[in-house]
Amino acid sequence: MFNNFNFGEIKPRGWLKRQLEIQAEGLSGNLDKIWPDIRESAWIGGDREGWERVPYWLDGFIPLAYLLDDKDKIERAEKYVTAILDRQQPDGWICPCTKEQRAKYDVWAYFLINKVLTLYYGFSQNERAKSAIYTSMKCLYNMISKAELELFEWGKFRWFEALIPLRFLENSYHEGWIVELGKILREKGADYKALTPLWKRPLNKWSLETHVVNIAMMFKYEALSCLLFGESYENSAEELWRTLEEYNGTAVGAFTGDECLSGKANNQGTELCSIVELMYSCEWLYACTENVIWAERLEKLAFNALPATLSDDMWTHQYDQMVNQIACIRFPGRSMFRTNNEEAHLFGLEPNFGCCTANFNQGWPKLALNAFLSNESGIVCCMMLPATLDTKIGDAKVTLTTETEYPFRLSCKYTVTVDRPAKFELKIRIPLWAKTASVNGEEIKKSDYYTVNKCWSGTESFTVALTDTPHFIPRPYDLRAVEYGALIFALPIKTEYKKHEYIQDGVERKYPYCDYELIPHSEWRYGFCDENITVCEHKGDDIPFSSIEPSVTLKTKLCRVDWDYADGYDTVADKRPISNSALSEPIEAELYPYGCAKLRITEMPLTEQNNP
């Protein structure tokens, strides 16, 4: 198993640091100032939502504050944690409700706040937080073992989230009730293996069994169970992933679900919460299993699906993104989505529902925390992310710095500095998509890792470079998408942002956290007519996933095809064209990284004269 370094030992650099700074300057860093459900939450003594929203926000805000060494944000995070701890009941109950209300309080939020406190302790080493986790989970054990509390609804389907704080406690206390509570929760919780038949045929029906966020969280349940219970790992996550991918997969590694599983069509939605929770599951699965496929899947989500559903300034977000997204305009009648409303694909403060407003914050900070992992031999570089690790191996102080623009460029410079000679292993993951890999210009044998096991001295640097060729990947309905490295590319559609400022249910939307409709102003009915695709590198701007000046684009040729709107809509492309025949001479087109193109056509046909 790979392990996390102490959280304070990792610091972002380069574009990753800039991405976190944009997040801190945007909605994440200001939510406690502008959103009543955080600012006036029952968690801190107010009268607004006292369930998942404050814990969700803290789950991203805490690592964001510490990764950036932002004193103001660290103090604000500690203010919230202190307020929560101050309100913990004498018997350990930690959530904001009366004793009489406990039986009807969905304990998913109970699991979540303890998971957040575990994360907070990793940064702060605050013993009061550690004690609060212990007494809180012991209270939960006492109530559940006495049948004073039952799992229902969200708590039943997210039972495994409690295993994270339980494992934290087991590593410190080794008391029998800790593992016993985990086993009780597993026995009472949902059995996802039994639910797979429901995932194969999407319905216009809301259910917990097919809820895409529950499913995104679920992937890590077996790995977490094995860690706590000492059981052997049977790799059920891979089997479940393949089932979902077959029936609900997207070109960017996510699953459709708005909020419930929605099939293979490229005009269906994917909820933002499911993206960040799927990333978190991949992070756990890679660490627990050491299987590189989970890091591969994590990269695809992080570099495509996550930035696509956030505005450049990260003040607004979507609830649902579509792979082929030609407009983000309120549906005038029945929603295109199976279980979400007519505004779920708008960019705004809380389109459709506010869970994603609070929960999207965890995506980028937790990715940064997983740039480096450790094993008994040394350091594992999971992804080519620009960051610095300052740690100790034996008696030596070790600094590892990675300088890279990956995934926009396909190389990374590694610099290792030690204050005294130190023997350890450095493992660098080589992505599965890489056609070749070289070190300082010399090609190496393709493998899952490039490994250096030696006695390091002073400062040593080397550069790992990868190669790939832009290529088509098959998609349903005889369509194609373009992949290059870890990035999926799409045809961007010229976009007008129509601003909406208003007040609803006492919540104000005003610039920069107002709502936006995205109105298209260029043609989208195209198909690929040439398999020759050229990589173009650019300087870019100050926004890593810029929708204005991406730092990498692809050039290819497209032809017009006969492609209509989805039945009943004039702002949604049908899932496939009427015909793959070319209706025009080829034109040269520039494809953007999927995460940079807010309006886009990603899956297109290969026109018939070029389709063998």
Structural domain span for residue 442? 373-404+411-467
Please tell me whether the peptide bond between 197 and the residue prior to it is cis, using omega within 30 degrees of 0.
Answer: no
What's the pLDDT score for residue 471? 98
Q: Any idea which residue has 């990947």 for tokens?
A: 473
Do the beta carbons of residue 163 and residue 228 sit within 8 Å? yes
Rounded to whole angstroms, the Cα distance separating 476 from 463 reads 38
Complete DSSP assignment for 544-587: TT-SSS-SEEEEEEEEE----BPTT-SSSB-SS-S--S--S--E
N- to C-terminal Cα separation, the chain: 46
Instruction: Provide the phi-psi class of 235: left if phi over 0, else alpha when psi is between -120 and 50, else beta.
Output: left
Residue-wise pLDDT tens digits, 117-164: 999 999 999 999 999 999 999 999 999 999 999 999 999 999 999 999
Q: How many CA atoms, within 13 angstroms, populate the side-chain half-sphere of residue 258?
A: 29
Rounded to whole angstroms, the Cα distance separating 157 from 170 reads 23
Residue 301 belongs to some domain of the structure: no
| Number of folded domains that form the chain | 1
Residue 450 belongs to some domain of the structure: yes
What's the pLDDT score for residue 612? 43
Q: Token pair of 316, please?
A: 């607004």
Taking 70 as the pLDDT cut, the residues of the chain under it are 609-612
- Beta-bridge partners for 269: 322
Q: Token pair of 262, please?
A: 């929605």
Q: Which of 397, 571, 598 is nearest to 497 (CA)?
A: 598
Query: For every residue of 517-535, which 3-state class applies, written as one string?
Result: EEEECCCCCEEECCCCCEE
C-alpha dist (Å) from residue 177 to 138, 169, 170, 451, 524: 8, 10, 9, 41, 59
Residue 449 belongs to some domain of the structure: yes
Do the beta carbons of residue 494 and residue 523 sit within 8 Å? no
pTM for the predicted model, two decimal places: 0.97
Query: For every residue of 145-184, which 3-state class applies, written as one string?
Result: HCCCCCCCHHHHHCHHHHHHHHHHHHHHHCCHHHHHHHHH
Whole-angstrom Cα Rg for the chain:
24
Rounded to whole angstroms, the Cα distance separating 521 from 601 reads 13
Q: Which of 362, 276, 388 is nearest to 62 (CA)?
A: 362
Long-range contact list for 495-503, CB < 8 A, 24+ apart? 495/519, 495/520, 495/521, 495/547, 495/598, 495/599, 496/520, 496/521, 500/348
Residue 204 belongs to some domain of the structure: no
C-alpha dist (Å) from residue 198 to 192, 247, 467: 10, 11, 40
Residue 396 belongs to some domain of the structure: yes
Backbone dihedral angles phi then psi of residue 595, each to the nearest 5 degrees:
-65, -15
What DSSP designation does 406 have? T
Rounded to whole angstroms, the Cα distance separating 28 from 359 reads 9
